[in-house]
A and B are shown apart, each in its own frame.
Chain A
Amino acid sequence: MWEYTDKVKDHFMNPRNVGEIEGAKAVGEVGSLSCGDALKLMLDVDENEVIVDAKFQTFGCASAIASSSALTEMVKGLTLTEAEKITNEEIADYLGGLPKEKMHCSVMGREALEAAIANYRGVAIPMAEGEVVCECFGVTDLEIKRAITESNLRTVEEITNFTKAGGGCGKCLDRLQDILDEVHKGGGAKIIPMKGPARMTNIQKIKRIEDVLEREIRPVLRNDGGDIELVDVDGDIVVVSLRGSCGGCSRSQTTLKEYVEKTLREKVLASLIVEEDKP
């Protein structure tokens, strides 16, 4: 059973904006029946290129339906230029996160949005022009490289989670590794070395956690008007509380896991788990 957030469940059980827009000038269709998920996104765009309405039809699992629903809510009211900047990570964040195996559902959302905008502008979709690497799911090298860079993917398994490439017959797995190496060699993504398990006492551990929070993490969060406080350290579980603008931010879970936890694991101990203090 997948661990879906309440927001995913809500958008799955009560999807927003299901349906069609008659004569829509921006239509993006991605996926196929054989792939197991597909999305048809329709946008109503006014003369100022503002998206005044968005509707969708989706074939797929709960996270595919929830991602589509979220996407339509996110783009309404934006100009095409603004909408164009939406990343798959932002779609996942809007839903409070997706299981890693389901990240490709958010990528499908972004691809449909790009396709719809390209359709409106009458241009080709750049990503579709690359060379097909995964024949099972029709994924191109450009799409794979982009996912590696944008989402800082570090393993072939992560590439599969995000793009589905390599999830079928598996023939392209070696090629995926090559692409991954190539991108990383070019400095496209940061590889975070995992530290070996250093022996340290509980006191040392807490001190180092405090130190990293104080010197590295807090300044970054404060830049965005937020703050963080260490509440407790219980074994390898680090309980923190997010303050300021971080507190109510829809991306706070991502900040916690992707930034705070990642940094603490890198700088203190690889087995740490960061959790938010629930009042």
Chain B
Amino acid sequence: MSKVIYMDNNATTRVAPEVLEAMLPYFSELYGNPSSMHRFGGEVGRAITRARAQVANLLGATPEEIIFTSCGTESDSTAILSAVRANPEKRHLVISRVEHPAVKNLAESLHNLTGHKYQVTSLGVDSEGMLDLEEYREALNDDTAMVSVMMANNETGVIFPIAEMAEIAKERGILFHTDAVQAVGKVPINLQELPVDFLSLSGHKLHAPKGVGVLYVRKGSPYAPFVIGGHQERGRRGGTENSASIIGLGKACELAGMMMSMENTKVKKLRDKLEEGLLAKIPNSLLNGHKTCRLPNTTNISFEYVEGEAILLHLDEYNICASSGSACTSGSLEPSHVMRAMGVPFTAAHGSIRFSLSVFNTEDEVDFIVEKLPPIIANLREMSPFWHNRDK
């Protein structure tokens, strides 16, 4: 197998070599339980304390505000269910139509499992994937227990105005959660200034391993644990710590802080070159999502009249990894909820391809894709009845 060209970093990322190195001792000789009384366990406890500080540092938080979890989804569930329990009399949630299933499906199941006692308002987006703040203001009411809106969208990379939205919620005394899984490490976040109550992040999206996440809980915000058990995480999340992964995540956050400028220079430059190259060389191709208000690593392009899975499998022949919002790749029969919320026409929604880059990508890889993809699209279009009839 020739070298893999990995441009699916919004799905998951490679564990950075420095992260792996930091983790390895905790799989072998340093296996103690951080809660133990002996010095052997205490050493692991101290490493976790360091990791907590590294995470806090990246976010502008204090270490006490960082709770380690098993993944982004657990963080999201914990935050939302915590707000629900903190406000038992309030029965309304505000999310967006383009939230990750971790938020969207949880909100929907709250609505369904309580016999519709919980109401959910899903904010729409425009054709560029942007929210309407007026619609947001109007959605809030005295019954609203929480707002949960993602910081950046996983499919398009579009960044939402979380600072402004959280401020509006705060004025009304409404708890605010943001799923920042895609944003952390790619755009600067300073929780000293960003007035959110809860923030979720996931290790494997920023070059730490899978199976570890973080929930940030602002000091003073009401909190109720989701995983109930031992005294770990100061009683806020039971279960023996995933020491090695937590330590890896700490290292990854430290690296992310140092690499942030690279994300916005090197990675962005490669993304732009890829995007411009494809849009210029392939007719009837359209960018999905706002051009500038976007993560520096993500581009989502629709190739009209062809279907995404077919494109991905042809790319796979060249060992190029990307993803698609088409129906056939999702296992469902409809295009992704993000494409539908944006009102991307069916001619384009089925043929949307997302490339998400990382600091590990190179210019040669970008050039290779810009060379290989146009003939793939041309070949599939030659086969497509709609391409031949597009002017009729």
Chain A interfacial positions (CB closer than 8 Å to B):
2, 12-13, 15, 18, 20, 29, 33-34, 36-40, 57-62, 64-65, 101-102, 136-137, 160, 164, 167-168
Contacts and interface: CB of A to CB of B under 8 A. Distances in A.
Given A36-B333, A37-B328, A61-B308, 9 more contacts: A13-B314, A33-B346, A36-B327, A36-B328, A58-B384, A59-B385, A62-B313, A102-B328, A167-B333
B388 interface: yes
Interface of B: 305-310, 313-314, 317, 326-329, 331-335, 346-347, 350, 382-388
A115 B307 CA distance: 23
A33 B347 contact: yes
Contact of B385 (A2, A13, A58, A101): A58
A108 to B, nearest CB: 12
Contact of A168 (B306, B333, B387, B388): B333
Interface of A is mostly: mixed
A194 B371 CA distance: 53
Contacts of A64: 307
Nearest to A168: B334
A160 B333 contact: yes
A57 B379 CA distance: 12
Contacts of A2: 309
Contacts of A102: 328
Contacts of B347: 33
Nearest to B345: A33
B230 to A, nearest CB: 35
Contacts of B333: 36, 136-137, 160, 164, 167-168
Contacts of A29: 385
A55 to B, nearest CB: 11
A176 to B, nearest CB: 14
A57 B383 contact: yes
A77 B314 CA distance: 31
B249 to A, nearest CB: 27
A168 B307 CA distance: 18
A28 to B, nearest CB: 11
A274 to B, nearest CB: 26
Nearest to B328: A61
Nearest to A164: B333
B279 to A, nearest CB: 21
A15 B379 CA distance: 11
22 contacts: A12-B310, A18-B382, A20-B388, A33-B347, A33-B350, A34-B346, A36-B307, A36-B326, A37-B328, A57-B383, A58-B383, A59-B306, A59-B384, A60-B310, A60-B328, A61-B307, A61-B310, A61-B329, A62-B310, A101-B331, A160-B333, A168-B334
Given A101-B331, A160-B333, A38 B326 contact: no
Contacts of B386: 33, 38, 59
Nearest to B384: A59
B328 A18 contact: no
Contacts of A18: 382-383
A185 B92 CA distance: 44
Given A18-B383, A57-B385, A59-B384, A12 B306 contact: no
A160 B388 CA distance: 30
B335 A36 contact: yes
A40 B331 CA distance: 24
Contacts of A36: 307, 326-328, 333-335, 346, 350
A59 B305 contact: yes
Contacts of A168: 333-334
A168 B385 CA distance: 23
B317 A60 contact: no
Nearest to B324: A61
Nearest to A29: B385
A40 B385 contact: yes
Nearest to B348: A33
B2 to A, nearest CB: 17
A57 B388 contact: yes
Contacts of A101: 331
Contacts of A13: 314, 317
A162 to B, nearest CB: 12
Contacts of B310: 12, 60-62, 65
A15 B388 CA distance: 18
Contacts of B334: 36, 136, 167-168
Q: Among the interface residues B313, B314, B333, B385, which one has the most CB atoms of the partner chain A within 10 A?
A: B333
Contacts of B387: 59
B338 to A, nearest CB: 16
Nearest to A9: B313
Contacts of B327: 36
Contacts of B346: 33-34, 36
Contacts of B331: 101
A39 B307 CA distance: 13
B332 A59 contact: no
